[in-house]
Amino acid sequence: MSEYKKLSASEISAKVKSRELKAVDIAREAIELAKTDGKKLNAFITICEEKALAQAEAIDKKLENGDAQGDLLGVPVALKDNIIYQDYETTCGSHILDKFKPPYDSTCAKNLINAGAVIIGKTNLDEFAMGSSNENSYYGPVKNPINHKLVPGGSSGGSTAVVAEKIVPIAFGSETGGSVRQPASFCGVLGLKPTYGAISRYGLVAFGSSLDQISPLARNSEDIALAYKVASGRDQMDSTSVAFEHPDYLKELNSSRKFKIGIPKEYFVDGLSDEIEKSVRDVIIFLEKNGHSFTQISLPMTDKAIAVYYIISSAEASANLARFDGVKYGLREGKDKDLLGMYGDTRSAGFGDEVKRRIMLGTYVLSSGYYDAYYIKASKVRELMVRDFEKVFESVDLIISPTTPTTAFKIGEKIDDPLAMYLSDIFTAPANLSGIPAVSLPLGKSSDNLPIGVQFMAPHFSELSLFQISKQLESHNN
């Protein structure tokens, strides 16, 4: 294995800064891996070679002149292909965005570049981030690096696979209901869903706007904290982004702080694999031995989460995806037809089945006569879930749970059973619905050698607690 693959983001950044390594050499190596290992996994849709090399060269040049700053100097990163990076196509894994090159940058990409990161590619995903297996991509499924017959999870399957395969130390996905934590647990890496409003959504192609959040993936606590720090912050371009103070993550990371942790009884139910349950219970025992305290808690609205999530995210998606109509950019079919014919042909040909399913569901729940029964009711339940969490966090610092009910499943196994697929999000969606941060951490492997994830949830803007518990577990694993 090459030296590069063993390095964390913070190590690369330090070595580039000290000029022990050249950013351009690192970038070349990462791009080479993307073209080889990445291709085997079908993880990339676009490789941003030209800009990446130019950026890396610029960093080296700046270092020669002694004026390069940033937390991720020369660190290769990948972006899920629903996060806009100027000059390169943004496909969202959909046929309907064919050849769409946005004339602007996402705030996330800008923040990364300002920190010295080198964006090497745009990763494969479930179309418009709708899916839990990365099988819903116009560009084909992504494979799980552990076992190519398995799904990597989704929708951020590409970004997760390239971190697990060590093509990049950090990648960014997006979450609406678990799209980073679920694949992180399937591939054995760390996935953080930040507090809603922490990372600007400007330039993230919307799925469910009130839930969407750009979310980093990494292989260790330090890197995930760095990724979060660099990407987040109040942005004038996103009205829902929030101003907040960053602690000194790297300094605070090694704190031996003891947490009060809640165990929600609703998260240990039928359908949860015995092995996963046992792993989580083992972690609890270990942490208890190390001085953390645990209490049973209740989050009574948990069993409504999937229904509420699908109603709200689909309602918002049905409006968010209305702009893809063949008029301004992307695919246009039915060119000889009238307006309605062109709309119909374009959207029929441009969207995949899952996307169509969600648009129809969303349109239905917003329709006159159904709006109150579905959308309004779901919004009310969502409010109750927010209050459930608020109440629980009055007495605990963190909540522990499994990330997913099962380990990675086979490609094709659930593709014809959308409901079974939707249940993959059962433990993750509540954090999106209530806006709180949550992380999935790798816990080791099942008997069939598949990664298992444990989830921690925290109050709004308590990401530091998540990084600290992650670091403590990591020290134990090592």
Partner 1 sequence: MSEISGFEPVIGLEVHAQLLTNSKIFCGCKVSYGQQPNSLTCPVCLGLPGALPVLNKRAVEFAMRMILATGGTVKNRSVFARKNYFYPDLPKGYQISQYDKPIGQGGKIKFKLENGQEKSCGLTRIHLEEDAGKSLHPEHGEPYTRVDLNRCGTPLIEIVSEPDIRSAEEAYGYLSKLKQILQYLEVCSGDMEKGHLRCDANVSVRPVGQKKFGTRTELKNMNSFKGVEKAINYEIKRQTKLIKSGGTVTQSTLLWDEKKQVAEEMRSKEESKDYRYFPEPDLVNLIVNDAWKEDVSKNLPELPDEKSTRLISDYHIRQYDALVLTDSRALADYYEKVMVDFGDGQAAANWIQTEFLGLLKESKVEIQESKVTPEMISALLAKVKSGELSGKMAKEVFGEMFASGKQAEDIIKDKGLVQLSDESALGTIIDNIISVNPDNLAKYRDGKTNLLGFFVGQVMKETKGQANPQVVNKLLKEKLEG
| Opening angle at CA 312, ends 307 and 317, nearest 5 | 125
Q: How many residues does the chain have?
A: 478
CB of 312 to partner 1, least distance (A): 9
Binding stretches for partner 1 (CB under 8 A): 83-84, 90, 92, 97, 100, 102-104, 106, 201-206, 208-210, 236-240, 315-316, 318-319, 321-325, 327-329, 339, 343, 363, 366-368, 371, 375
When the beta carbons of 326 and 442 are compared against partner 1, the nearer one is: 326
Q: How far apart are CA 142 and CA 179, in angstroms?
A: 14
CB of 179 to partner 1, least distance (A): 16
Q: Which residues pair with 442 in a beta bridge?
A: 453
Evaluate the CA torsion angle 296, 300, 301, 302 in order and state its sign.
Answer: positive
> How many CB atoms are closer than 10 A to CB 29?
18
CB of 92 to partner 1, least distance (A): 7
CB of 422 to partner 1, least distance (A): 21
Answer whether 90's CB lies under 8 Å from 84's CB.
Answer: yes
Nearest alpha carbon to residue 153 among 199, 104, 215: 215
When the beta carbons of 239 and 296 are compared against partner 1, the nearer one is: 239
Q: Which residues pair with 295 in a beta bridge?
A: 262
**Tokens 């598949």 belong to which residue?**
450
> Catalytic one among 94, 133, 155, 159?
155
Q: Which residues pair with 400 in a beta bridge?
A: 456
CB of 238 to partner 1, least distance (A): 5
Chain-centre distance for alpha carbon 446 = 23
179 is catalytic: yes
> Catalytic one among 13, 15, 17, 80?
80
> Catalytic one among 179, 200, 221, 232?
179
Nearest alpha carbon to residue 182 among 383, 433, 379, 407: 407
When the beta carbons of 109 and 184 are compared against partner 1, the nearer one is: 109
155 is catalytic: yes
- Pull the structure tokens for residue 182: 């679920």
When the beta carbons of 237 and 384 are compared against partner 1, the nearer one is: 237
Answer whether 331's CB lies under 8 Å from 91's CB.
Answer: no
When the beta carbons of 106 and 472 are compared against partner 1, the nearer one is: 106
When the beta carbons of 30 and 108 are compared against partner 1, the nearer one is: 108
CB of 176 to partner 1, least distance (A): 12
Residue 155 Cα distances to 158, 176, 237, 425, angstroms: 8, 9, 25, 11
Q: Dump strand ranges (E) for 249-406.
A: 260-264, 293-297, 398-402
When the beta carbons of 99 and 289 are compared against partner 1, the nearer one is: 99
CB of 273 to partner 1, least distance (A): 34
Nearest alpha carbon to residue 186 among 149, 232, 139, 150: 150
| Opening angle at CA 433, ends 227 and 377, nearest 5 | 165
Q: How far apart are CA 393 and CA 373, in angstroms?
A: 30
Residues assigned a catalytic role:
80, 155, 179
